Amino acid sequence: MYRNTILRKVRDQRLLHDVTLELTYHCNLNCFYCYNDRGKQGSSLSLRRYKILLEDLARMQTLFLMLTGGEPMLHPHFFEIGRIARELGFVIRIRTNGHTLDSRNIERLLHEVDPYMIEVSLHGACAEVHDRQTRVTGSFDRLIRHLRYARSAGLRCVTVATPTAWNEHQIEEMAALGDELGAPLRFQGPVAPRDNGDITPLSIQPSRETWDRIKALVSARRPRRTTAETKDSLNPEVTSESGLEKPATCSVGLVGVVIDPYGNVQACMHLLESAGNLHHQSIEEIWNHSPLFVRARQRAIDAATVFDGKKHHQFGAPLFCLAVEENCAKSCGSRKQYEP
Amino acid sequence: MKMSETNPNSEERFRLSDRVLYRAVDDEGVLVHLENGRVMVVNEVALYIVRELDRQAITVSELAESVSCAFEVDAPRARVDVLLFLDQLREEQAIDTLASAGEEPTAG
């Protein structure tokens, strides 16, 4: 019902349903494959600007708000922004590395932000693997400690893993660890180049066989549904194209935007072209009048034609991201990465 | 016991649980329950009732009268629809009940 009815209306009427706020690019970890361009420059949005933005979004009936980064909890006004968002009735999700998710911050999250979901990055099933990727010794033990407390305090958590050459031997163990922690594991990928075009992260791309293993694992773990209605997925990302719409590689430009720490409004967190800046325009003006979203959508439609109806793949992962292609091209010339 | 099958106390007031968030999408609504993660999609009339329940603690009679005026339906029909929807909301733990003025709410 949610997908068939609501998302259809959201798309048909171009309602801004889902917003991601990249609050900061600062981070207390140093992940080898982090895609953020920490050299990106700009004037950070003030708390006042965030308040105006959130009030505008509430008026526009935006439902989902993702707070991410960098590490979003390092933003000096993280809790104020979260509290305002909660008061304005957004369904808040927080994507964090978990390093700052200590007992004090968990209590503050529960009482001030009241998030729907916490998404925590998991890099391995043991300290040796996890800490190798985060490049911070002790980060695994700390994460596990924090996750256990978060779950016991009542926060709904999921873990998110990007398969790499360093952790691909632990795919099953990571899934089991997520279960044991009460924070089910979701896989994402492929490893992407950094947003500035640095392709160093691609050196730890996992094997294609790993994605086949993941596919089998996910399939085996998928619950068998007996009822559908109120168990709809809350993920607003549109994963299947249907009806009269032209096939596209993703839902870019249709239902959501990403806003970087400097107020740039983007169609996707990796497609860096800005549709407008919140220092100069309101989100309503940008969403309703920038041609960038239509262009991004057209690019996703054009990209889909390459696959000719077959499933999308990129570096073995079961998706195709325009931005991975674009950011690769910054370093690789016009070399194509996708293989239909 | 379902409210639609009984005659609820006329003093009983209902309000939307603070664990429920909602937004309008065109003429429909999406409700998200923060505790159980469940999602409800509701029609225009139900969205109107949700908004009323969010605005204030309200009795069945007051709700029915409000729906009757807003949608130009007769009061008995509005009351039946209100009771059925309140049953649904109670099943989803989406409303709190206040037995009388000033009383602490109880879920469902």
Average pLDDT, 10 consecutive residues per value, chain A (340 residues): 83 92 96 88 96 98 96 98 97 96 96 96 98 97 97 96 96 97 94 88 93 92 58 39 64 90 94 94 96 90 82 82 81 49
Q: How far is B79 from chain A (nearest CA, A)?
A: 25
> Which residues on neighbouring strands pair with residue A93, listed in sequence order?
A66, A117
One-letter amino acid at B103 equals E
Picking from A28, A68, A23, A25, the residue whose alpha carbon sits closest to that of residue A50 is: A23
Are the beta carbons of A90 and A64 closer than 8 angstroms?
yes
User: Does the predicted interface ipTM exceed a cut of 0.85?
Assistant: no
* A3, A5, A235, best to mutate vs chain B, most B CBs in 10 Å: A5
Residues A76, A53: Cα–Cα separation, whole Å: 17
**A287 close to A16: Cβ distance less than 8 angstroms:** yes
Render each residue's pLDDT in chain B as its tens digit; 108 residues.
677 666 666 678 999 999 999 999 988 999 999 998 899 999 999 999 999 999 999 999 999 999 999 999 999 999 999 999 999 999 999 999 987 655 566 665
Q: What is the CATH number of domain B13-94?
A: 1.10.10.1150
Pick from A9, A17, A156: which is nearest to B37 by CB? A156
In this structure, are residues A123 and A133 in contact, taking their beta carbons and an 8 Å threshold?
Answer: yes
Domain boundaries, chain B: 13-94
Please report residues of B whose CB lies closer than 8 A to that of A85: none
Which tokens hold the place of A231?
Answer: 């168990």
Three-state secondary structure call for residue A71 = coil
**CB-based contact, A234 to chain B, within 8 Å:** yes
Asked whether the beta carbons of A325 and A299 are under 8 A apart, the reply is: no
Question: How many DSSP H helices and E strands does chain B contain?
Answer: 3, 6
Residues of B in contact with A92 (CB under 8 A): none
B98-108: pLDDT as tens digits: 876 555 666 65
Inter-chain contact A2–B39, Cβ cutoff 8 Å? yes
Q: CA A9, CA A7: separation in Å to the nearest integer? A: 5
**Residues on chain B touching A230 (C-beta within 8 angstroms):** 38-40, 92
Q: Does the distance separating the beta carbons of B26 and A17 come in below 8 Å?
A: no
* pTM of the model as a whole: 0.88
**Residue A332: predicted pLDDT:** 61
Burial class (CB in 10 A: 0-12, 13-18, 19+), A137: exposed
